Amino acid sequence: MSIFVDESTRVVVQGLTGSQGRFHGLRNRAYGTKVVAGVTPGKGGSDVEGIPVYDSVQEAAAKEGAEASFVAVPPKAAPDAILQAAEAGIRLIVCITEHIPAKDEAYLSARLSRDFARTRLIGPNCPGIISPGKCNIGITSGDIALAGGPVGIVSRSGTLTYQALHELSQQGIGQTTCVGIGGDPVPGTTFLDVLQAFEADPETRAVMMIGEIGGDAEERAAEFIASSMTKPVVAYIAGVTAPEGRKMGHAGAIVSGSKGTARGKTEALTRAGAVVAVNPTEAGEKMVEIVRSLS
């Protein structure tokens, strides 16, 4: 079983008429995702290769039954686009937009938590979510994913998300769902959120978790793994060699003093019972060993 999305999920692409929205929205549709509408203010009544475009998410949800949104708009427009989707009753929002100011992300997090508790935001600055063979929302290539489970993947890094999918698929190990939560300082969905969903999913039998330096999300995840996770977890933390105070790739991937280090995260996850790999390839190998032992 997948988490958050499945083959029935109906998706609206906010920014479908733009270059990124068009490219990835059509790619998602070609994968089999039910992309039922696009939204671009002022372009309502047009279409993109047969996908109707509306002026608002409210209209798209009412007329096409959209329940999930793919936000592919510039940074200045993204916060309003996310809130418009939430106000329209969209239950899942995937935002790939980079460079949204941290203060805007903090405001979005507070508004969603306070006023739209039923809406889940994945991202911003993330590759999105894919349930192989069922639904793909975002920029992940469906070619590297393999349907049939039994592994769930959650990652802060987009590139390492793709590598994890590829490593497992090459070994014939399928995935239930892969969630790229993004590496910004204030993500809409956390490791903890996804681990809880995988723990509750009967078809997910093992989890791969890919973290990186900065923040304490991995340490919080380790607490949940230790106290509540019954399924094996393989983890990898990127950024072992990153110098103190240097941002690595993501706005949230920065070490300050003794906090947020790869060593600290690795030790916390090891104490929690996770199998911690020294590189992405080893993470894939460890997961293959675990899955084959479960058979």
Please determine, for residue 258, whether its predicted confidence score (pLDDT) is greater than 70.
Answer: no
Residue 250 is among the residues annotated as catalytic for this protein? yes
User: pTM value?
Assistant: 0.94
Same domain, 153 and 105: no
Percent of the chain with pLDDT over 70: 93
How would DSSP label each residue in 264-290?
HHHHHHHHHT-EE-SSHHHHHHHHHHH
Encoded tokens for 175: 């995935």
Mean per-residue pLDDT, 46-54: 98
Judged by DSSP in three states, 110 sits in helix
Of 57-61, 72-76, 247-251, give the lowest mean pLDDT range: 247-251
Please determine, for residue 245, whether its predicted confidence score (pLDDT) is greater than 60.
Answer: no
Number of H helices, E strands in the chain: 9, 14
Indicate which residue of 24, 99, 166, 250 is catalytic: 250
Write out the residue range of the structural domain in which residue 106 sits: 10-122
- pLDDT tens digits along 103-113: 999 999 999 99
Give the domain CATH number at 26. 3.40.50.720
Same domain, 38 and 181: no
- Asked if residue 130 is part of any domain, the answer here is no
- Asked if residue 246 is part of any domain, the answer here is yes
41-76 burial: b if 16+ Cβ within 10 Å, else e = eeeeeeebeebbbbebbbbbbeebebbbbbbbbeee
Same domain, 86 and 175: no
First and final CA of the chain: distance in angstroms?
18
- Are the C-beta atoms of 191 and 216 separated by less than 8 Å? no
Encoded tokens for 233: 């977890």
- pLDDT tens digits along 231-244: 999 999 997 655 55
Distance CA 53, CA 128 (A): 22
Give the domain CATH number at 166. 3.40.50.261
